[in-house]
Amino acid sequence: MKKQRVKAVAVATMVTATTLFGGEVFADQTLNQIFEVGESKVNAGLQSQQRIDRLQEQTNALLQEFKTVNKQIEGLRVYNAQLEKQIAKQLEVIKDLEESIDNVTIIERQIQPLVLRMLEGLTQFISLDVPFHIEQRTEELEKVTANMDRADISVAEKFRQVLELYKIEAEYGRKISTYETALTLDGVEREVNVLQVGRIALLYQTKDTKLSGAWDASQGAWTPLDSGDYRSAILKGIRIAKKQASVDILELPILAPEAAQ
């Protein structure tokens, strides 16, 4: 009877030991799984943080660019406001002159010399100005000049025609336009697109967009530009002038004489 009890206790002890060993193995496996899940979450967190850092850098860069463009826009607004004031004053002067046309016949002897002086001044101005639309402007000028000797045109009408030329020249300074022409580049005549930005910049670009240049007022000649720097900007300006693209800020070279120091 005692032997049977000893055997039973031994068997029970073996079962308990086996259960404990199996439990330890199971616990180890569970801990490993927990560690793996924890490590996976940490790695995912690191990757998420890296993405957040990259997005933050991109956001900061865009914010800086936005601030820079805002400053440029503000400067252009101030500049345009000043120009608008000047143009408004010029238009007031033109309006006053137009209103006085009805009384021109009374002082015809004084008006005729004035008209001739105005025409002479405009002729000199165009010859010294940036040479955009030069053929068209010269043709209109010659037409009005020829009318000065006609007896069938009143002094008032001659005065009106000269004023109209002045108004057209004033409008050129406010517009961006483009046209095609032929220029001699390096001794070879090339068909080019010309971009005129008011009286600020006059640029050309060949049809294949490989060659670009700008009018240098100080030299009175066309100057080649690095196509790599300005090719896209000039092409975009031409598209804007043709109303094929929305108005935008353009980074263009301004080759103009500087004031003496």
Three-class HEC string of the chain: CHHHHHHHHHHHHHHHHHHHHHHHHHHHHHHHHHHHHHHHHHHHHHHHHHHHHHHHHHHHHHHHHHHHHHHHHHHHHHHHHHHHHHHHHHHHHHHHHHHHHHHHHHHHHHHHHHHHHHHHHHHHHHHHCCCCCHHHHHHHHHHHHHHCCCCCCCHHHHHHHHHHHHHHHHHHCCCEEEEEEEEEECCEEEEEEEEEECCCEEEEEECCCCCEEEEECCCCEEEEECHHHHHHHHHHHHHHHCCCCCCCCCCCCCCCCCCCC
Q: What are phi and psi of 178, to 5 degrees?
A: -145, 150
The contacts of residue 194 (CB under 8 Å, 6+ apart) are 132, 178, 179, 180, 181, 202, 203, 204
**Residue 210 contacts residue 224 (beta carbons within 8 Å):** no
List the structure tokens of 180: 């095609």
List the structure tokens of 237: 């300006």
Q: What are phi and psi of 224, to 5 degrees?
A: -65, 150
For residue 159, how many other CB atoms are within 10 A of its CB?
21
The domain locations on the chain are: 88-172, 176-241
What value does the mean pLDDT take over residues 120-131?
91
Residue 21 has pLDDT above 80, yes or no: no
Q: Report the b/e string of 2-16 with b at 16+ CB within 10 A.
A: eeeeeeeeeeeeeee
243 conformational bin, left if phi > 0, alpha if psi -120 to 50, beta if neither: left
**Residue 218 contacts residue 133 (beta carbons within 8 Å):** no
In the chain, pLDDT over 90 holds for what percent of residues? 20
The contacts of residue 162 (CB under 8 Å, 6+ apart) are 115, 118, 119, 122, 144
Tens-digit pLDDT profile for residues 35-70: 677 777 777 778 888 888 888 888 888 888 888 888
pLDDT-derived band of residue 260, with 50, 70 and 90 as boundaries? very low
Inter-CA distances, 117 with 10, 97, 164, 188, Å: 133, 15, 15, 40
| pTM for the full predicted model | 0.55
* Count of all residues that appear for the chain in the document: 261
Which residue from 254, 249, 250, 215 is spatially nearest to 231, judged by alpha carbons? Answer: 250
pLDDT-derived band of residue 161, with 50, 70 and 90 as boundaries? very high
List the structure tokens of 79: 């500049």
What value does the mean pLDDT take over residues 97-126?
81
pLDDT-derived band of residue 248, with 50, 70 and 90 as boundaries? confident
Tens-digit pLDDT profile for residues 172-228: 888 889 999 998 888 888 999 999 998 888 999 998 888 999 998 888 889 898 877
